[in-house]
Amino acid sequence: MTAAALASLAARFRTCPVTGLKVDRTAQRLITAFAVAAVVSMIAGVIGAFALVLTRWQAVHLLPATWYYRLLTVHAVSMLIFFIIFFEMAVLYFAGPVLLSSRAAAPKLSWLGFGLMAVGAVLTEVVMWSGNADVLFTSYPPLKANPNYYLGIILYAVGALLTVGLFFANLVVARREKTYQGSVPLVTFGATTAAVIAVITLLHGAAIYVPTWLWAMGWAPMPDPEVYRMIWWGLGHSSQQINVAAMVSIWYLLGALTVGAVVINEKISRTAFFLYVLFISMASAHHLLVDPGFGAAWKIWNTSYAMYLAVLATMIHGFTVPAGLEMGQRLRGYTKGAFEWLTKAPWGDPGFSATIFSIILFGFIGGITGVTFGTEQINIIAHNTLRVPGHFHATVVAGTALAFMGATYYVIPLVFRKQIAFWPVARIQPYLFAAGMALFTTSMTFAGTFGVPRRHYDISFAGAALDLQYSPAVDLLLAIMGIGGLLAATGATLYIAIAAWSVFFGKRLPEDAKEGMAMGFHGVPQGVLRLPKQAYGAEAGEPEVRAHEGVLKLRGTYVLVGVFLLAFIVYYFVNWKLLSFVWKVG
């Protein structure tokens, strides 16, 4: 490299005054683009959320039938694909070049990746809103949408695959250019896991959307409905596993930034991520447990993520993440009793509160319900009922999306160098969103146990040739679902407003750290200005020697995981009992 080229490369970097990381401005601009695209996609999703929740709240029944199914398609695609994958691409640029202090490789290709995704998303949205894809997110043939629907998603997926490929390239670049010593940080490793699962996801997506697009164009025969379902869910559920890996990585990230959470044991945490890499995508079979296409052996082996080893991985993170938080807090002096580390934690910091609620709601509601009715036989009493969206709103929304919201509150000051707007509102936003989602998911799950179907416009069956009256409890549950959903959608709207305003109109933060400290914590989460000691400096990066027995008295965490396991065991066996009451079948 010439001296001029070297100099111009150096000029691309700025040094973060908080963490000391060297940030490539190209990577920073890409993070900005992906994050903004994510939030814009969320707007479409949230409009859908308000309308849908006011329709399934049967007493309100806002939309007419066509718009219900239309906005259900919009809501799912905008949230589950566009919002969340755009955000994850931003995470890849953060966990890669930023955390490794390295350069983003091939800037032009990177922007091409973003461009393809943006064009694909816009095309798909236009087709959906104009009523040319009323087929729902799964678009199961023989239902057929306008070919541009599939084309838009294909473009998006190609752009995403390119971006994921560049993440791997960035890892190589960072290692070759020795911008860090030792192994990549755990957050980066978690992001790598997410990237591997993303490749699995996107390859299945290509394998199914291309033939389906060809059929929609009239150039190829219809894909077989069962083959379609199997390959589609290789995209559909695996994309949710990207979300799990990304969410857990964010838990580790925010733990570090908010309270200096430490890594108890790198080997254990990384092995857990490795189990995700190998086995978590097999659970796409969850959706096919009551399908005619597959035998019991295939169903049992795949739905179990290979003997539940991927569930083991989540239970490991379910220990190491709180343990890391507890340890980090104890190292800062909060050592009284079993829970002072938690009670004296920065609950006013939206990055922290979002993380805690994400962990609790994902674990207790999302994880337990999902593993339970992902059991081959228990699925018989759950498939296509409201139990399914009750579960996945707890995992993807109360889990991943909430964690991403928390991350945003740190990205705004650290990457965008802006103050967070509407700070008093920002501090309570995670509470509002979490409370709404808790009500929404639990009531939906209960309604599902009464048999209420998902993706269904009218459970009064007006216009049907027969009658059916659900238990009156269902009306109450759907009302609670409506209220919870409105609260949560409001929380999401506030998040969008706060994020957008901060990024575009927010006050700039001073570059000087001292000046920043002097302005206090209004508009800036406490971890930004007061990054815990163990997060930087001499203690960082020390090799993990055999941990001293006495140090790891993590009483709080032991209690929490014990309560979790108990809840899991009870819920699981109650469901077997429920199953045993129905007709003999099979």
User: What is the smallest separation between the CB atom of 470 and another protein, expressed in angstroms?
Assistant: 8
Q: Contact between 20 and another protein (CB under 8 A)?
A: no
Q: Considering the rule CB under 8 A, would residue 577 count as an interface residue with another protein? A: no
Residues 474-493: x/- map of binding to another protein (CB under 8 A)?
--------------------
Judged by beta carbon, residue 6 or residue 551, the one nearer another protein is: 551
Q: Per CB under 8 A, which of residues 215..274 are in contact with another protein?
A: 215, 222, 224-227, 229-231, 234, 238, 252-253, 255-257, 260-268, 270-271, 274
Interaction of residue 129 with another protein, rule CB under 8 A: no
Rounded Cα distance between 414 and 425, Å, is 20
Q: How far is the CB of 546 from another protein (least distance, A)?
A: 6
Spell out, one character per residue from 146 to 185, where the chain touches another protein: x when CB under 8 A holds, - when not.
x---------------------x--x--------xxxxxx
CB 330 within 8 A of CB 341: yes
Given the complex with another protein, which of 180 and 423 has the nearer CB atom?
A: 180
Question: What's the one-letter identity of residue 371?
Answer: V
Does 526 help bind another protein (rule: CB under 8 A)? no
In the complex, minimum distance from the CB of residue 279 to another protein, in angstroms, rounded to a whole number: 7
Q: How many residues bind another protein (CB under 8 A)?
A: 166
Q: What's the sign of the alpha-carbon dihedral 426, 427, 428, 429?
A: positive
Tell me how crowded residue 424 is: count the other CB atoms within 10 A of its CB. 10
Choices 26-34, 62-70, 362-370, 419-427 (CB under 8 A): range interacting with another protein: 62-70
Residues 378-407 that bind another protein (CB under 8 A): 379-385
Minimum CB–partner distance for residue 475 and another protein (Å):
15
We find the least distance from the C-beta atom of residue 385 to another protein, in angstroms, to be 7
Q: Shortest approach of another protein to residue 240 CB, angstroms? A: 14
- The crossing angle, in degrees rounded to 10, of helices 305-331 and 296-303 is 10
* Nearest CA-CA partner of 509 in 426, 423, 415: 415
Binding residues for another protein restricted to 434-463, rule: CB under 8 A: 449-451, 453-459, 461-463
Q: Count CB neighbours of 359 within 10 A.
A: 23
Q: How far apart are the first and last CA of the chain?
A: 69
Question: Applying CB under 8 A, does 37 fall inside the site for another protein?
Answer: no
Contact call for residues 414 and 358 (beta carbons, < 8 A): no
Q: What does 52-92 look like in DSSP terms, one character per residue?
A: HHHHHSTTT--S-HHHHHHHHHHHHIIIIIIIHHHHHHHHH
By the rule CB under 8 A, 59 interacts with another protein: no
Residue with smaller CB distance to another protein, 141 or 484: 141
Residue 513 lies near another protein (rule: CB under 8 A): no
The CB-of-328 to another protein minimum distance in angstroms stands at 7
Which residues ranging from 65 to 104 are in contact with another protein (CB under 8 A)?
65-66, 69, 99-100
DSSP state for residue 260 in the 8-state scheme: -
Inter-residue contact 391 to 442 (CB < 8 Å): no
Query: Among candidates 467, 88, 128, which has minimal Cα distance to 247?
Result: 88
Nearer to another protein (CB atom), residue 251 or residue 495: 251
Residue 368 sits in the site that holds another protein (CB under 8 A):
no
CA pseudo-torsion sign 571, 393, 317, 284 = positive
DSSP letter at 331 equals H
Residue with Cβ nearer another protein (423 or 470): 470
CB of residue 461 vs another protein: minimum separation in angstroms?
6
Task: Give the binding range for another protein (CB under 8 A) out of 9-17, 33-41, 343-351, 554-562.
Answer: 554-562
Confirm or reject binding of residue 11 to another protein (CB under 8 A).
Answer: no
CB of 110 to another protein, least distance (A): 18
Answer for which of 109, 119, 199, 425 binds another protein (CB under 8 A) is: 199
- From residue 176, give the alpha-carbon distance in Å to each of 109, 180, 382, 554, 578: 20, 10, 50, 39, 57
- The residue behind tokens 């597959």 is 294
Among 12, 36, 129, 301, binds another protein (CB under 8 A): 301
Q: Which of residues 274-293 bind another protein (CB under 8 A)?
A: 274, 277-279, 281-282, 284-285, 288-293
What is the closest distance, in whole angstroms, from the C-beta atom of residue 547 to another protein in the complex? 5
The residue from 6, 25, 131, 507 that contacts another protein (CB under 8 A) is: 131
What letter would DSSP give residue 418? B
Does residue 322 belong to the site contacting another protein (CB under 8 A)? no
Three-point CA angle 72, 78, 81, nearest 5°: 115
Residue 524 or 554 having the CB closest to another protein: 554
> Looking at the DSSP assignment, which residues form a beta bridge with residue 16?
none
Partners of 14 in the beta sheet?
Answer: 23
Nearer to another protein, 261 or 411 (CB): 261
Among 24, 125, 134, 326, binds another protein (CB under 8 A): 134
Task: Report whether the peptide linkage leading into residue 107 is cis, meaning its omega lies within 30 degrees of zero.
Answer: no
Rg, Å, the chain Cα set: 24
DSSP per position, 140-195 = -TTS---HHHHHHHHHHHHHHHHHHHHHHHHHHHHHHTT-SSSSPPHHHHHHHHHH
Please state the length of the chain. Answer: 586
31, 42, 90, 145: residue in contact with another protein (rule CB under 8 A):
145
Sign of the C-alpha dihedral computed for residues 166, 167, 170 and 176 taken in this order: negative
3-state secondary structure of 24: strand
Q: How far is the CB of 91 from another protein (least distance, A)?
A: 13
Nearer to another protein, 340 or 376 (CB): 376
Measure the CA–CA gap between 562 and 119, rounded to whole angstroms: 48
Per rule CB under 8 A, is residue 423 in the interface with another protein? no
Interface with another protein by CB under 8 A: which range of 25-33, 152-160, 375-383, 483-491?
375-383
Residue 7 makes CB contacts below 8 A (sequence gap 6+) with: none
Query: Does the footprint of another protein cover residue 347 (CB under 8 A)?
Result: no
Q: How far is the CB of 518 from another protein (least distance, A)?
A: 25
Please tell me the distance from the alpha carbon of residue 298 to that of residue 303, in angstroms, as a whole number: 8
Nearer to another protein, 447 or 487 (CB): 447
Binding test (CB under 8 A) with another protein, winner from 80, 117, 162, 327: 327
